Structure 1
């Protein structure tokens, strides 16, 4: 049975644009997924990347155009400059970690609900009520937002180390158990093809 480590950021527009296509690919191939929320800005610092607000204006403008085009291709609503971005990613990430450990809802849908709240619904995903609403929407106990905070912080830090060691440097980033690496929501089809034996 194939396995995928999924490194993602609750602040990443491309994690939002990935939707739940990874989960559909996993079901198709009988693959399991370990979800690993990461501090994307810290990952950039560790792996030679530059946070979007610090990039040259020409790079920022292309990013804005590309996000708009990708959202249109996917038929998804996206606010290119959401009002609560960047925000503190830790509370939503910790809640996700608690949900993965203790919950029985839909993890793929939870990633999408959190990122959609930021990039489409213009909400602050550092707000407890926003996080709890996402948990409820995806079949989890909203109390998970207030539980396991120390363990959440430790796992969140470990996920960053795991990402660096595994060769991830952005989000979303997909790594198979055969060390095939796929970066970006626009590479999910390639991951599908790889699991099919075509790549």
Structure 2
């Protein structure tokens, strides 16, 4: 069985646009996914990237054209300038980490947080929003409180693991068995083909 490490940022529009395609691919090939939310801005800092606020205007202008193109192509709603972006990624990431330890549909939970930012104008750093998204996706809302210590430790460890694995952005997918790396939601077809060949 192949194992995919999925490095993600809960405020990334590109992670949002991935939708549930990773989960569909994994199900098709019997692969297992480990969700590894991390501080995406620190990942940029550690690996030579540039935070969005510091990028050249031409790069941001292109981003503002490309995101709606992809949203239209994938038939997904997208607010290019969400009311709550950027926000602290840590609380929603801790919730995902706690939910993964508890067991359940973590993919749907991840998408719930991303959709909240990019389509629903919700603040995913707010405790009430986090509890609501947990509950709406079949998890105990109290995970927002009980998983804080382990979540904080794992969140930091995920960043270190991402750097060691060669990740430098999100979404970033690493197939453990082959060390094949796929950066971006537009590389999911390549991940699909790779798993099919194993």
- On whether the aligned pair clears a TM of 0.5, the verdict is yes
1:119-144 Cα offsets, whole Å, 9 max, x none, are 11011100111111111111100010
Aligned to 1:172: 171
Aligned to 1:92: 92
Aligned to 2:33: 33
User: 1:44-193 maps to which residues of 2 (within 5 A)?
Assistant: 44-102=44-102, 104-177=103-176, 178-193=178-193
Q: What RMSD in Å do the two structures reach over aligned CA positions?
A: 0.9
Give 1:84 shift: 0.7
CA–CA separation in structure 2 for the residues paired with 1:62 and 1:129: 35
- What SS does the corresponding residue of 2:23 show, helix, strand or coil? helix
1:75-127 Cα offsets, whole Å, 9 max, x none, are 0000111111000111100011110112x331000110000000110111001
CA–CA separation in structure 2 for the residues paired with 1:180 and 1:22: 15
State TM-score, norm by structure 2.
0.97
CA–CA separation in structure 2 for the residues paired with 1:138 and 1:148: 17
- What SS does the corresponding residue of 1:141 show, helix, strand or coil? coil
CA–CA separation in structure 2 for the residues paired with 1:148 and 1:77: 31
* Gap regions ≥5 residues in structure 2: none
- What SS does the corresponding residue of 1:105 show, helix, strand or coil? coil
- What SS does the corresponding residue of 2:197 show, helix, strand or coil? coil
CA–CA separation in structure 2 for the residues paired with 1:67 and 1:168: 21
Moved over 4 A (4+): none
* Gap regions ≥5 residues in structure 1: none
Give 1:53 shift: 1.3
